[in-house]
Structure formats: C-alpha cells, structure tokens
Amino acid sequence: MNPDQIPVHVAVIMDGNGRWAKSRGLPRIRGHQVGVERVEEIIQSAPALGIKYLTLYAFSKENWRRPKDEVSFLMELLGKYLDQKLEEMKRQNVVFNTIGHLDDLPAPIREKIVRNKQETRQNTGLVVTFAFSYSARVEITDACRVLAEKAAQGEIRPADITEATLARHLYTANLPDPDLLIRTSGEMRISNFLLWQISYTELYVTEKYWPDFTREELVKAIQSYQTRERRFGRTTASGQENA
C-alpha cells in the first residue's frame, strides 16, 4: 500500500448479515452479532492504515420496516454495543459521532448515544460516524427546510445559497466528503446513503458479506482505491473531458 494515497474518509454500507447467516444455516440475528465484531475490527484497524474518518451505515430509515423482532434485536445489540465499547473508544482516542434521526430511536438508546458522544468529544483520533435511522433524501430535505426557514426570516437571501451553504446544513457539516465508499455483499446500489457527499467518491463493491469483511478486506479496498485516478470532473492528461 502507498502510505501517501490513503483515503482520509471511508464510508461503508455494511450489507449481507442476513445472507451470511442463511448461508450457514444460522438465524439472521447471528449475522448481525458477527457484523458487530467486524465493526469493532474495522474501527481498530483504520487508524494504523491512515484513515481519519469512518462512516458506517448501521440502520436506515427504511430498516424500521423489517420484522419487529429483528428491529428489537438490532436495538438491543446497539444498546449493548454502546455500553460495552465506550471505554474502548476512549482508550482508542476515537470520537463517536452519529448522523440520522436519533429521535426515532428508543429513549434509552438515545441517552447512551448522547453519553458516548459527550465522553469522546475531546478525543483527537479517528472520527467514527454511525448512521442511525438515516436517509440521504431526508437529510437533504431537512437542510432545505432550514434554509427555507432562514430565507423566510430574512436571515439569508435565496440568491446567496451556494453548494457550500447546503453542505453546511447537512448532518455531515463537520466531515469531509468520503474518498472511498465500500459496499459489501455485491449489490450495486447506494441505498439512500450520503447522496450529496459521494458525488466524487470512489466506489468499491465486494462480494464478501459484512460478517466476512476483515481488516484484510479493508486493505484490499484501499489497494483498489490506490489504482484509481481521481479527477473530480477535470480533464484527463489526454485532454478529454472525464468524470
């Protein structure tokens, strides 16, 4: 790996927990349990690889429509995770951050999230952002609402709204755009994740299910990233327009 070309911000769509479990004849929830172990492994591995920001799609707005038992299990798992990993995150100098509608989550989970954020606020290492009850379309709609309200109050002129203004009103206002987006389990879609922020992000899709996405798989994703020539819509060396 080239240490000078590490993606600063890596975002991950963690997919395939259910299929991983099914392929082993196990209940779906077992896939989520092992998925949490991979979350831990990736958080532990990221800083030494040079990654500064890691954003993980843990629960979408759409995920609420899953069977009630599975949603309850995921919430329980999340609660345990927040309790068990707090000390470790503090030790690892990790900043715990979230995006999404926390108000949708059960109050005890919300309180744990607020606590973990508060207690890791002063850390200076890896920023781990979990997307909980997240939808990119809702995020953009929320930003539009705030801007419309500001315009109605005369605080901002519509003509002065730029891309930067909108970006500052997204949940990710304090994060750089992702350099690399990883999706596990082979699906070639974005599933309403960070739609605005990934305009120029490199995509990496692996057939591996999330419970099989180890540190080694992360290294492979970074190696693939390092073979890309990022142009951000500029002209190529040969002078042709290219995205």
Q: Which residues bind ligand FPP (CB under 6 A)?
A: 14-19, 32, 35-36, 39, 58, 63, 77-78, 81, 210
Check if 174 is active-site: no
Q: Which residue is nearest to ligand FPP (CB)?
A: 18
How far is the C-alpha of 16 from the C-alpha of 3, rounded, in Å? Answer: 30
Nearer to ligand FPP, 36 or 181 (CB): 36
Nearer to ligand FPP, 19 or 101 (CB): 19
Nearest distance, CB of residue 140 and ligand FPP, angstroms? 22
**How far, CA to CA in Å, does 9 sit from each of 127, 137, 181, 195, 241?**
9, 21, 9, 15, 26
How far is the C-alpha of 171 from the C-alpha of 54, rounded, in Å? Answer: 15
Nearer to ligand FPP, 22 or 52 (CB): 22
Q: Which is the catalytic residue, given 4, 63, 123, 179?
A: 63
How far is the C-alpha of 180 from the C-alpha of 203, rounded, in Å? Answer: 6
Nearest distance, CB of residue 105 and ligand FPP, angstroms? 12
The alpha helices in 11-124, defined as continuous H runs, are: 17-23, 28-49, 68-91, 107-120
First-residue to last-residue Cα distance in the chain: 25
Check if 15 is active-site: yes
Task: Give me the numbers of helices (H) and strands (E) for the chain, helices first please.
Answer: 7, 6
Nearer to ligand FPP, 134 or 225 (CB): 134
Nearest distance, CB of residue 225 and ligand FPP, angstroms? 22
Q: Which residues are catalytic?
A: 15, 63
